[in-house]
Amino acid sequence: MISVRDLHKHYGTARAVDGLSFEVRPGHVTGFLGPNGAGKSTTMRMIMGLDAPSSGTATVNGRPYRDIHRPMFEVGAVLEARAVHGGRSAFNHLLCLAQSNGIGPRRVREVLELVGLDGVARRRAQGFSLGMAQRLGLAVALLGDPPVLLCDEPVNGLDPEGILWIRTLLRRLAEEGRTVLVSSHLMSEMALTADHVVVIAQGRLLAEGPTAQIIAHGAVSEVTLRSPQAAAFSPVLQLAGADVSPGGDGPETLRITGLSAVRVGELAAQRHITLHELTTRAPSLEEAFMALTRSHLDFQIAEANAS
């Protein structure tokens, strides 16, 4: 488990992380979401003991990273895919790390296979594509078979096949009971990979919980209606509290928010309105995220205006 408690990181007057608290539990892939500069990498670096917090704590299984006796066996991280000594082969790179941590060559071969690099193990890492470097980074992180794994933007630079591969691997690692924290700004990808999310902006927590719940609370679903009587029905919907706009598909189509499809259907039945289509489009994680960051910005503007 990862615990972040009232974590702050200031660079001069800039607050990269500003009172952040959240927990990442085992058995789930937890998405760490936020716009550019939100503080995701800084938080991950503090969890991994690479940056010291200005105040607050970040612990892995109850201990700050610096107090973990054999870190490679407790927590693995892929923070910089390119942080590899280019002159060595993938196998030798892993073997060096393994040997200095008392891990045998068998585990090196295992992780190479696990990340799909066994075929290129003797090639110099220097010539690796970004996707291969990501895989090698993961192999390093998994060398000690740690129960906790952190990945910073792991799908960056991957092709669709690579993205699917990493999604499947991360989910499998979580199903094995590991704690998996994955940062990303790709919402649609995270919606497919992460069953939990932690959403931050400007170093502060915006939302935390199961992905489905965040989507349901963060954004409104939209109902599409197609009817030959759309123009006559529109004022009825507005009177019932809906926001109605043209559906963009001719005058017969309306886009409705603020009323459920069930309620729209009931109103149509009462008024003998003929319906050719009535569909609900579920909001995406992207829309929920935009709604969350928008309300955060609105709050900040209101705060600034009040002071």
Site residues for ligand ATP per CB under 6 A: 11, 14, 16, 34, 36-42, 185
Nearer to ligand ATP, 184 or 234 (CB): 184
Q: What's the min distance (Å) between Cβ of 16 and ligand ATP? A: 3
Nearer to ligand ATP, 44 or 136 (CB): 44
3-state secondary structure the chain: CEEEEEEEEEECCEEEEEEEEEEECCCCEEEEECCCCCCHHHHHHHHCCCCCCCEEEEEECCECHHHCCCHHHCEEEECCCCCCCCCCEHHHHHHHHHHCCCCCHHHHHHHHHHCCCHHHCCCEHHHCCHHHHHHHHHHHHHCCCCCEEEEECCCCCCCHHHHHHHHHHHHHHHHCCCEEEEEECCHHHHHHHCCEEEEEECCEEEEEEEHHHHHHHHCCCEEEEECCCHHHHHHHHHHCCCEEEECCCCCCEEEEECCCHHHHHHHHHHCCCCCCEEEEECCCHHHHHHHHHHHHHHHHHHHHHHC
What single-letter DSSP state applies at residue 284?
P
Nearer to ligand ATP, 16 or 78 (CB): 16
What six digits make up the tokens of 172?
Answer: 């499998």
Nearer to ligand ATP, 14 or 231 (CB): 14
Nearer to ligand ATP, 88 or 185 (CB): 185
Q: What's the min distance (Å) between Cβ of 238 and ligand ATP? A: 40
Residue type, 127: G
Q: What's the min distance (Å) between Cβ of 109 and ligand ATP? A: 33
Residue 307, CB half-sphere, CA atoms under 13 Å: how many? 6
**How far is 271 from 116, CA to CA, in rounded Å?**
61
Nearer to ligand ATP, 36 or 307 (CB): 36
Q: What's the min distance (Å) between Cβ of 38 and ligand ATP? A: 4
Q: What's the min distance (Å) between Cβ of 51 and ligand ATP? A: 8
Nearer to ligand ATP, 31 or 34 (CB): 34
Q: What's the min distance (Å) between Cβ of 39 and ligand ATP? A: 4
Q: What's the min distance (Å) between Cβ of 121 and ligand ATP? A: 30
Q: What's the min distance (Å) between Cβ of 19 and ligand ATP? A: 14
Phi then psi for 34, rounded to 5 degrees?
Answer: 175, 155
Nearer to ligand ATP, 93 or 196 (CB): 196
